[in-house]
Amino acid sequence: IQPERSSQIYSYKYSSQNSFLYDVKREVYNEENFQQDHKRRISSSGTMDINITTFTHNVQCSCSWHRFLRCMYMIFPFLKWTCFYRFKDWLLGDLLAGLSVGIVQIPEGLTLSLMTRQLIPPLNVAYTAFCSSVIYVIFGSCHQMSIGPFFLVSALMIDVLKERPFNYGHLVMGTFIKDDFSSPTYFLSYNRSLNVVQTTTFLTGIFQISMGVLGMGFLSAYLPEALISAYLAAVALHIMLSQLTCILGIIISFHAGPISFFYNIVNYCIGLPKANSTSILLFLTTAVALRINKCIKISFNQYPINFPVELILILGFTVLAHKINLVTETSRNFIEIIPYSFLFPSLPNFSNFFSRLILPAISLSIVSSFMVIFLGKKIAGLHNYRINSNQDLITIGLCNIVSSFFNSYVYSAAIARTIIQDKAGGRQQFASLVGAGVMLLLMMKAAQFFYELPNAVLAGVVLSNVLPYLETIYNLPSLWKQNQYDFVSVDALAKGRERG
């Protein structure tokens, strides 16, 4: 009995030393007092009526100021970077990037008729590019994206133009005859062809907005990084192939189809004896200058900024071409053929060929959307932020609807200009706004000055900026060891892309 008693005393002392005392001073609640303190009333019938103050409190919790700001930032992303813009650190880089993109966009828009075989008035392209850039600045989620006419997407219109060809289809084959516009029948056929382009662009924008509203942007989250890199590598290959027209100074008959890439290479090889040596020399000079520029490192407030050599090359060779006859291809030969200088905005005319344009418009909407999403994810990954794919689908759809009003092309992400804007020091969409303003101002006041720019110089600028996307092809052996399925997708996309 004694050991048992001693253990009880020990346990009592141990518990008393480690116990905690609480002193709670409040009235004891019953149900009625609790409901009164929380501003609720209970009726005698047992049903509960909510007080208006409680109802207002609940609404304020569900629609708080924080949620409202988050919703506004999602719909209008420009509000976020505008409020937190670092003028001291980012302004110089954005200005240089905007000037470089704006200057590059002028000759690129002028030579777009050569690349896509479409005679769109250059001022229409300029106004559309400006409006689309402003739309993406307001609604777009990628900070370094440059929106504009991209020839690879617009080239899909070649098959669409077969619905209403003029000049007996010679526009598709790349043969431009200025004297034919003196015929009223030719003008009528030309306007019908423009109507086909306008209607297709409008339908493309409608489909893209529908894709964004339905939330189809979530599909991009399931796409592997290898597939995105493969798609961009395939686009880079087709860009390089198309620029051979400017580098060699020859025009070939472009093929369409799954293996058109190889057919076009053969056609270029056949046309090599007619190549322009001056164009090749100008291209090599531009490529060497851009390669040397990559070795120059400049930083401002610890932010890297590339020397704007693209700006200097375009302005320098344009001035040189005005002083010396370089005997090379320029955009003047094609711009002077276009019968209109500007076409006023108009609504699409949905005539009897509307049903035949639905499938091409769906194809164009998918290709254009993939370009925006893939390039946006690639750029955003380099700068450690995320894009809103659904928001970008709606934004590019709005851009294409505006483009249709100006009788212009299907718009998408421009790879070369996006890379220039990124590497020139662009940090936010303010650079795109500067570039769009510079481009529109110069197109209205000094477009004649850029008519003499050799196309080979522009080709050198474009190729030097898209070349890094071909690194995916060099990584094919290691990719085969990691994942054979990704290897097959990369190989299939890099070898060719089916048109329309």
Q: Buried (b) or exposed (e) across 78-101, using 16+ Cβ within 10 A?
A: bebbeeebeeeebeebbbbbbbbb
pLDDT of the residue at 500: 37
pLDDT of the residue at 179: 55
Cα separation, 30 vs 444, in Å, equals 80
- Smallest CA-to-CA distance from 108 within 455, 468, 466, 467 is with 455
Do residues 147 and 132 make contact, with C-beta atoms less than 8 angstroms apart? yes
Cα separation, 307 vs 294, in Å, equals 9
pLDDT of the residue at 115: 61
- Smallest CA-to-CA distance from 369 within 184, 195, 137, 204 is with 204
Give the angle subtended at the CA of 147 by the CAs of 145 and 151, to the nearest 5°: 120
pLDDT of the residue at 89: 80
Do residues 171 and 377 make contact, with C-beta atoms less than 8 angstroms apart? no
pLDDT of the residue at 202: 92
DSSP 8-state class, residue 304: E
Q: Could you give the dihedral angle defined by the CA atoms of residues 361, 145, 457 and 329, in that order, rounded to the nearest 10 degrees?
A: 20
**Structural Rg of the chain based on CA atoms:** 31
Do residues 223 and 408 make contact, with C-beta atoms less than 8 angstroms apart? no
pLDDT of the residue at 114: 61
Residue 467 CB-density burial (10 A; 0-12 exposed, 13-18 middle, 19+ buried): middle
pLDDT of the residue at 253: 66
Do residues 479 and 490 make contact, with C-beta atoms less than 8 angstroms apart? yes
Please state, as a whole number, how many other Cβ atoms lie within 10 Å of the Cβ of residue 417.
Answer: 27
pLDDT of the residue at 356: 79
pLDDT of the residue at 499: 41
pLDDT of the residue at 292: 87
pLDDT by position in tens, the chain (length 500): 444 444 444 444 444 455 556 666 666 777 767 666 665 444 444 444 444 444 444 444 456 777 777 788 788 888 888 888 888 888 888 898 888 888 888 887 777 766 666 678 888 888 888 999 999 999 988 888 888 877 667 667 766 766 555 554 444 444 455 556 667 777 777 788 888 888 889 999 999 999 999 888 877 777 777 777 777 777 778 778 878 888 888 777 666 556 777 777 888 888 888 888 888 999 999 989 988 887 777 766 666 677 778 888 888 999 998 888 888 888 777 777 777 788 888 888 777 677 778 888 888 888 888 888 888 888 888 888 888 889 999 999 999 999 999 988 888 888 888 888 888 888 888 888 899 899 888 888 888 888 888 888 888 888 888 887 777 777 666 666 666 555 555 555 554 444 43
pLDDT of the residue at 245: 81
Q: Could you give the dihedral angle defined by the CA atoms of residues 351, 122, 249 and 191, in that order, rounded to the nearest 10 degrees?
A: 20
Please state, as a whole number, how many other Cβ atoms lie within 10 Å of the Cβ of residue 41.
Answer: 10
- Smallest CA-to-CA distance from 232 within 352, 371, 113, 430 is with 371
Cα separation, 108 vs 115, in Å, equals 10
- Smallest CA-to-CA distance from 327 within 275, 363, 291 is with 275
Indicate left, alpha or beta for 95 from its phi (over 0: left) and psi (-120 to 50: alpha).
alpha
Do residues 474 and 494 make contact, with C-beta atoms less than 8 angstroms apart? no
